[in-house]
């Protein structure tokens, strides 16, 4: 990859990372995606373009608003840097149509995953708008490149199995085991992962969630009756399945 490709790949990712930060903040609060312009959440000062440069502005402003000195969360430069790195790693080696579409597919998934992950971690919700866009991407890809039984059965298993378990859990405990956002996400992932892939995702995300939950209770960081966001575990397992399939296959051999 030449230096121009590296520059454009990283730059595009940094800019998109800044956009993802806006989505993570705005979607849960019901604020418009494009308007109003970027502003400080404390003093509500509109942020000029030269204070909105990914990563660099955080460094130059020393991590604080130029007007009220309210600290800027470290999440902002971290997400921008991670997205820049992801864009660089996925950037097409040449601009043949297949490579461009491949980049668009995987980078879009990455962006939705990281946005979903942080929103659910902070607010315990998986927004319908993100599930909708992810579903459109997966369904389009699956219709084009996979047989209908693969994506249809995968999606049905992704919805019906967790829904059945949640219903049985509700009958036994009189409370929900999984939120509908989690069940929708399972169904959408099933479009791309297929029957066996979504079963693996359900198993390992439940296993990971249970182990982490037990550990947090053990060290008194989580109460037994407290709710814990489950979406991040689904997304972490799906990320391994989609972005690191060889590693995931090697991991499966342990079991």
Residues 36, 64, single domain; the answer is: yes
Q: Which domain holds residue 10?
A: 1-91
Residues 80, 102, single domain; the answer is: no
Structure tokens at 119: 């929103």
Q: What is the pLDDT of residue 210?
A: 86
Residues 63, 152, single domain; the answer is: no
- Residue 174 confidence (pLDDT) above 70: no
| Mean pLDDT of the 63-88 span | 92
Point out which residues pair with 39 in neighbouring strands.
Answer: 46
| Mean pLDDT of the 57-61 span | 91
Residues 65, 184, single domain; the answer is: no
**Selected residue with higher pLDDT from 179 and 142:** 142
Contacts of 175 (CB under 8 A, 6+ apart): 169
Predicted confidence (pLDDT) per residue in 191-233, tens digit = 999 999 999 999 999 999 889 888 888 887 777 777 788 999 9
Residues 206, 106, single domain; the answer is: yes
**DSSP 3-state of 39:** strand
Q: Which of 23, 56, 91 is the last residue of a domain?
A: 91
Q: What is the pLDDT of residue 255?
A: 67
Residue 62 backbone zone (phi > 0: left; psi -120 to 50: alpha; other: beta): left
Burial category of 36 from C-beta neighbours within 10 Å (exposed 0-12, middle 13-18, buried 19 and up)? exposed
CA-CA distance, 168 to 25, in Å (whole number)? 35
Number of domains in the chain: 2
Residues 106, 225, single domain; the answer is: yes
Residues 25, 105, single domain; the answer is: no
Residues 80, 103, single domain; the answer is: no
Residues 161, 196, single domain; the answer is: yes
Q: What is the pLDDT of residue 106?
A: 96
- Residue 152 confidence (pLDDT) above 80: yes
Picking from 49-53, 157-161, 234-238, 239-243, which range would have the lowest pLDDT averaged per residue? 49-53
Q: Which of 91, 110, 144 is the last residue of a domain?
A: 91
Residue with tokens 């814990």: 228
Q: Which of 62, 91, 120 is the last residue of a domain?
A: 91
């Amino acid at each position: 990859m030449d230096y121009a490709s590296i520059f454009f790949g990283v730059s595009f990712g940094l800019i998109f990372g800044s956009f993802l930060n806006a989505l993570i903040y705005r979607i849960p609060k019901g604020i418009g995606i494009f308007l109003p312009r970027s502003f400080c959440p404390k003093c509500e000062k509109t942020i000029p373009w030269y204070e909105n440069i990914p990563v660099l502005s955080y460094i130059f402003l020393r991590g604080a608003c130029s007007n009220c000195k309210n600290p800027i969360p470290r999440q902002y430069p971290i997400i921008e840097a991670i997205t820049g790195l992801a864009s660089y790693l996925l950037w097409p080696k040449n601009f043949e149509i297949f490579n461009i579409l491949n980049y668009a597919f995987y980078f879009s998934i990455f962006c939705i995953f990281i946005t979903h992950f942080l929103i659910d971690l902070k607010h315990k919700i998986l927004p319908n708008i993100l599930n909708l866009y992810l579903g459109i991407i997966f369904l389009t890809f699956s219709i084009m490149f996979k047989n209908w039984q693969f994506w249809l059965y995968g999606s049905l298993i992704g919805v019906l199995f967790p829904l059945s378990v949640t219903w049985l859990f509700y009958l036994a405990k009189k409370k929900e085991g999984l939120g509908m956002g989690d069940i929708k996400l399972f169904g959408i992932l099933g479009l791309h992962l297929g029957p066996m892939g979504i079963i693996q995702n359900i198993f390992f995300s439940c296993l990971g969630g249970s182990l982490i939950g037990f550990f947090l209770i053990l060290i008194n960081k989580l109460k037994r009756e407290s709710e814990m966001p489950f979406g991040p575990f689904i997304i972490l397992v799906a990320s391994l399945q989609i972005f690191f399939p060889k590693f995931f296959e090697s991991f499966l051999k342990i079991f």
